[in-house]
Structure 1
Amino acid sequence: MSFTMNDTYDALPDPTTQPAFYEGVGVKRLLAWVVDTILIGVVAAIVASIPLFLLWFVFPLVFLVVSLIYRIGTINAFSATPGMRLFNIELRTHQGQRLDGSTAALHTIGFMIASAFFIPQVASVFLMLMSERGQGLHDMFTGVVAINSPGRH
C-alpha cells in the first residue's frame, strides 16, 4: 500500500479507491484502546506506588496524567500509541502527514473530553462505525484520520 502526498486538503487515501487503508481500522482502534488502557493502568499503578502508596488516594488523577503523557508523547513520536502500533494503524492529518506535538496534544485532549461524557462518547463510536473514513468526534475536530500503516502489512 502506498499513497502520494500533495498540497491539497484531501491528501489522504480515498476510502472508495483505496479501501485497504481503512479496512478493519475501527476494530483495530478498539483493540488498541484496550491495550493502551492496560499499559496506562500498569504505569499509573507503578507511579502511584512509588511515594509509599500515597498517590493511590488520588489514583484517577494519576491515571489521567499518565494517560495524557503516554498518549501525547507516543502519538507525537510515532503518530500512534503502542496499542495502535501493535495493530498496524497510525494517525494522519487531513494533509496525510504524521501528527506533530500540538496536533497530538489537541487530539488527545479531544479524545479525553469525548470519553468523559456519555453522549459525545456514543456519538464518536457511532461516527467511527458510520463515517466514510471512520472518524470520531475528536478526529473530525482535529482533522485526524486513523489508517492502516502505509508500507506495513
Structure 2
Amino acid sequence: MTQEYAASRPYLPDPATAPELFDGLLTRRVIAYFIDLAVMGALVLALTIVGAILGVLTFGLAFASLVFVIPAAIVLYYAATLGSPRRATVGMQMMDIVLTPTRGQPLDGWMAILHALVFWLTFWICWPISLLFALFTPRRQMIHDLVVGTLMVRRSPMIRHWQNARSSAFY
C-alpha cells in the first residue's frame, strides 16, 4: 500500500528513499509545539497587559476587546508564520522543520489558518490519538495533516531533496 501511495504521488518525498527528511520528525514537532506555546503565551501576556492598561484608561470598555484580540492574535501568528515563504512557525524554524502542501496548491495564509484550526480541533478532541496516528503513517503525518493536505519534513534535507529532484527531472 505504501508503494502504491508513493507511486500515485511521485512528487512527495518517500521515507524509504529520503529517510533524512523524516529523521526525528515527531520529536521535533513536539518540541516545536512547546516552543510555539511559549511564544504565543508571551504574545497573549503582552496583549493582556496592554488590554488591562487600556481597560483602566477607558473605564473598562477595552476589557471586552480582549475576548476578540487574543484569539485573533493567535490566528494571525499562524497565518504570518506558516503562511509566510518560510512555511514554519518560530518553533518549527528552531527545530528545522517546514510545512509542505501535498495537493499541489500553494501554502498561503488561509491554508495555514485552516491547518492550525484543524490541528487545535483534533488536538483538543484527543491528543494521544493524534500523536499515535503519526507513528503509523509512513510520512509521520498527523490527522490534521491528512485532512488539510500537508506534510511536515525537515527543512535542510528538504532543500537538498527538491534540488536533486529538479535536477534529475531535467535529465
Shorter-normalised TM range: 0.7 to 0.9
What is the TM-score when the length of structure 2 is the normalising length? Answer: 0.73
**Which residue of structure 2 aligns with residue 71 of structure 1?**
78
Q: Which amino acid aligns with 2:143?
A: L
Q: Structure 2 matches for 1:134-149, cutoff 5 A?
A: 134-149=140-155
User: TM-score with structure 1 length normalisation?
Assistant: 0.81
Residue 45 (structure 1) aligns with: 45
Uncovered stretches (5+) of structure 1, i.e. residues with no partner: 1-7
Task: Give percent identity, aligned residues only.
Answer: 26
Higher relative contact order (CA 8 A, sep 6+): 1
Instruction: Give the whole-Å Cα distance in 2 for the aligned partners of 1:42 and 1:86.
Output: 17
Alpha-carbon distance between aligned partners in 2 of 1:52 and 1:41, rounded to the nearest angstrom: 16
Output the CA distance in 1 between the equivalents of 2:14 and 2:97.
16
Verify: 1:27 aligned to 2:27, yes or no.
yes
Report the number of matched residues: 143
User: Offset of 1:112 from its aligned partner?
Assistant: 1.7
1:88 aligns with 2:78: no
Is 1:36 paired with 2:36? Answer: yes
Query: Does the 8 Å CA contact 2:51/2:66 hold for their aligned counterparts?
Result: no
Q: Which residue of 2 aligns with 1:100?
A: 108
Following the alignment from structure 1 to structure 2, what is the Cα–Cα distance between the partners of residues 56 and 31? 33
RMSD: 2.5
In structure 1, give the amino acid aligned to 2:144: H
Distance 1:47 1:136 in 2: 31
**Corresponding position of 1:126:** 132
Measured after TM superposition, the shift of residue 67 of structure 1 is 2.0
| Equivalent residue, structure 1, for 2:11 | 11
Q: Could you tell me how far 1:51 is from its partner in structure 2?
A: 2.5
Report if aligned partners of 1:89, 1:147 keep a CA contact under 8 Å in 2: yes
Residue 118 of structure 2: aligned partner = 110
Name the CA distance, whole Å, in 2 between partners of 1:24 and 1:96.
Answer: 26
